Amino acid sequence: MTVDTMAAIRQTFFQECEEQLSEMEVGLLAMDEGNADSETVNAVFRAVHSIKGGAGAFKLTALVQFAHTFETALDFVRSGKLNPTAEVMKPMLRAADVLADLVEASRDGKEIDESSYAAIAADVKALTATEGAEEVEEAIDFQPTVIDFGLPDMAPEPIAAPVHEYRVSFTPRPELYANANEAVLVIRELSRLGQAETTCDASAVPDIDNIDPNGAYLSWTIKLSSEVAIEAVREVFEFVDGEADITIEADGQPEVSDDAIAALLAQALGSAPAAENDQPSNVTNVEEPTPADPVQSGAAASETASPPAQVAEAVKTVAVPAQTTIRVEFDRVDRLINLVGELVINQAMLSQRVIEANFAGSSSVVIGLEELEQLTREIQESVMAIRAQPVKPLFQRMSRIVREVADATSKQVRLKTDGEATEVDKTVVERLAEPLTHMIRNAVDHGIETPEERVAAGKSPEGNVRLSAAHRSGRIVIEISDDGAGINRPKVRASAIKKGLISPDAQLSDSDIDNLLFLPGFSTAATISSISGRGVGMDVVKRSILALGGRISISSRPGLGSTFSMSLPLTLAVLDGMAVSVAGQTLVVPLTAIVETLKPKKGEIHGIGADGRVMAIRNTFVPLIDVGTQLGFRDTPADPERSVAILVETDGGARNALLVDSIQDQRQVVIKSLEANYGTVSGIAAATILGDGRVALILDVDALVTRSFEGQLTAAARYGTEG
């Protein structure tokens, strides 16, 4: 086998390790919650066992040794010898973290120091050692005594579980070894089910000169006496399904294969009378056998005259085919996304040319262009669905952060997650990892109290941190909440004054004080530690969220906890927007922020403050924001009666009216980063390329509203001073 082939197999192994680690984490958290059913425990055991088996193929000794120790403890739980209590699950969860570290170090080729995992391995070993000692003591202390009363034996004879005799034929194919599996591990696992007698057939091994290093020549026959059902025997081979030829005979009866099932179904359908009304069938390309001669036909007839129960039993065992997937490098998907973006731009340019050529609305060119637009949108949505992924892996990483910070601060904290299946663009997920880590650490370090403080406040000694995700109005909203002490606003205010961030006589609302947490250099920690106290954290979080085109808000209740809410776009590639004209410029307003469009009338506009205006809409007033003056496109405010008001809603739920000159149309635009290509502009989220080749700016509605509000406060303060 060439080096390149081995490297590809190794890469595949570590990709599968990520899936196994994810499944292991889910199972362990379920066990920690008290859901330690056999299916969950077996799933965790299989995940660790698979990692160990693959690591052995690449001679990753440290990984194999630790996985074996972990696997042994899980086997005790699986067999009922060890009860997964909170005391047992704590070292197991830590072992899962260490196993993930060892997989990462092995993947990156780093040298592993045994002392880095020796302590955790000893804790896990202690679980099985203690249990074994307890079993011995119980066996010695118990001495049964038989008393004969001379009465006839009335007790029923105990019913022994039936012992099945299985005959398993196991012939690996070359793919089994190419995928880093080992036949000996499969046979060893099978032997755990009962009394096994294994025979190896080496008759297919060629001479040394003709042997293929990538070939598979050995086969095994295993005679197994066991009380387990045949499903348990099949389960042993689930990891090598499709990579080996496997037949199982139970009590002398061969297992019905898929081919046999198909044959039985074909025979049953072929002998059944035709229905009067033809109905669509799921069985296709079934050919009836053609009898060769009368003698053979008679023999075939006697063989096919099997009882209907055999066909029914065969139908019951038909399994639903598993959904197939392929692994694709992310760079290829990213390139496809970029090409789709260029396709959208070219489609917009083509539409612009058709409009300029003044084609009739019913012409074949216009009809074809509309079909192209629909097809482009479907392609874009399909490609975006490929790059979308659930936030589950990201949320699972946060479980480890909670455990580490809780241990470092001597707190008892449990993480609960909701909406793990919520999908979002892969790029958003990757860039969200760092800010989410900061917020989770802060929730445990600053939000949750110590067990003693919680008990004194009438709470459970164990704190709760909840991490949730959901789709709302074309965006993803992620919330981190805790049931801790809430934000200590007097302490926050005092710290901000001490650091010179605000003046001592500043009049701030509760919301304003909460938002001080996002100022650079702000911290309320009394001491500097590895967790907090250096004034770096929440300001970084806010910048990261803003860079993603998102918003972050805080709500807190003293003594009850705090909630940090982040609203983010589902994708950073394409969005639906409304193109508007402002002072000769074309701008794009994201469609997800728009509630409705209005034509202002004279009696609906009212002045407020120095130069502020509000608009009356259905018995309520909303601030009116002139987009042209806010962005510096013009100095004189626009006449509302000759303009269009777009009612928008921010992530916080507040409504404002954006005043623009006119509305052009609704279109799909490709997002181009303004920050990467030019720089950050307040009130602008990104840019796009129009059909005529010009660059249009995409409005950041929340930032524009905030900018207008801050400008009105400044003007009001100046007006009050001058007055």
For residue range 143-187, list pLDDT tens digits in order. Answer: 455 555 555 555 555 555 568 888 889 899 888 887 777 888 888
CB contact at 8 A, 541 and 554: no
Q: Where are the domains of the chain?
A: 3-134, 164-254, 330-388, 391-569, 574-722
Reported as type and span, the H/E element at residue 16 is helix 3-32
Give the right CATH number for 391-569 from 3.40.50.720, 3.30.565.10, 3.40.367.20, 3.40.50.620: 3.30.565.10
Amino acid identity, residue 149? Answer: F
What is the Cβ-side half-sphere exposure of residue 9, based on CA atoms within 13 angstroms?
Answer: 18
CB contact at 8 A, 568 and 428: yes
Summarize pLDDT for 610-661 with one digit per residue, the tens: 678 888 888 888 888 888 888 888 888 888 888 899 998 876 667 888 989 9
**Whole-number Å distance between alpha carbons of 187 and 165:** 16
What is the band of 723 on the pLDDT scale with cuts at 50, 70, 90?
A: very low
The fold of 3-134 is: Four Helix Bundle (Hemerythrin (Met), subunit A) (1.20.120)
Summarize pLDDT for 552-580 with one digit per residue, the tens: 888 888 888 889 888 887 766 677 788 89
Confidence (pLDDT) at 721: 43
**Whole-number Å distance between alpha carbons of 133 and 126:** 10
The average confidence (pLDDT) of the chain is 76
In the predicted structure, residue 142 carries a pLDDT above the cut 50:
no
CB contact at 8 A, 524 and 490: no
Q: Answer with the residue of higher pLDDT: 690 or 285.
A: 690
Confidence (pLDDT) at 466: 92
Confidence (pLDDT) at 152: 54
CB contact at 8 A, 704 and 650: no
What is the band of 323 on the pLDDT scale with cuts at 50, 70, 90?
A: low
What is the band of 304 on the pLDDT scale with cuts at 50, 70, 90?
A: very low
**Whole-number Å distance between alpha carbons of 172 and 183:** 7
Confidence (pLDDT) at 279: 42
Confidence (pLDDT) at 84: 85
584 Cβ partners below 8 Å, 6+ apart? 633
Confidence (pLDDT) at 314: 45
Summarize pLDDT for 1-28 with one digit per residue, the tens: 444 566 777 777 888 888 888 888 888 8
What is the band of 249 on the pLDDT scale with cuts at 50, 70, 90?
A: confident
What is the Cβ-side half-sphere exposure of residue 135, based on CA atoms within 13 angstroms?
Answer: 10
CB contact at 8 A, 614 and 623: yes
The class (CATH top level) of 574-722 is mainly beta
- Percentage of the chain beyond pLDDT 90 is 2
Summarize pLDDT for 500-557 with one digit per residue, the tens: 777 777 777 787 788 788 777 666 554 444 454 434 467 778 878 877 777 788 888 8
In the predicted structure, residue 82 carries a pLDDT above the cut 80:
yes
**94-108, 267-281, 451-465: segment of lowest average pLDDT:** 267-281
**Whole-number Å distance between alpha carbons of 100 and 106:** 10
CB contact at 8 A, 578 and 588: yes
What is the residue whose two structure tokens read 């898929």? Answer: 258
In the predicted structure, residue 284 carries a pLDDT above the cut 50:
no
**Whole-number Å distance between alpha carbons of 636 and 628:** 9
**Whole-number Å distance between alpha carbons of 384 and 392:** 18
**Whole-number Å distance between alpha carbons of 237 and 490:** 63
Confidence (pLDDT) at 205: 86
What is the band of 487 on the pLDDT scale with cuts at 50, 70, 90?
A: confident
pTM: 0.55
Confidence (pLDDT) at 274: 44
- From 594, 597, 580, select the one nearest 690 (Cα to Cα): 580
Amino acid identity, residue 107? Answer: R
Confidence (pLDDT) at 267: 58
CB contact at 8 A, 682 and 702: no
DSSP-derived pairing of the beta strands 475-482 and 462-472:
antiparallel
Return the CATH number of the domain spanning residue range 164-254. 3.30.70.60
**160-174, 252-266, 486-500: segment of lowest average pLDDT:** 252-266
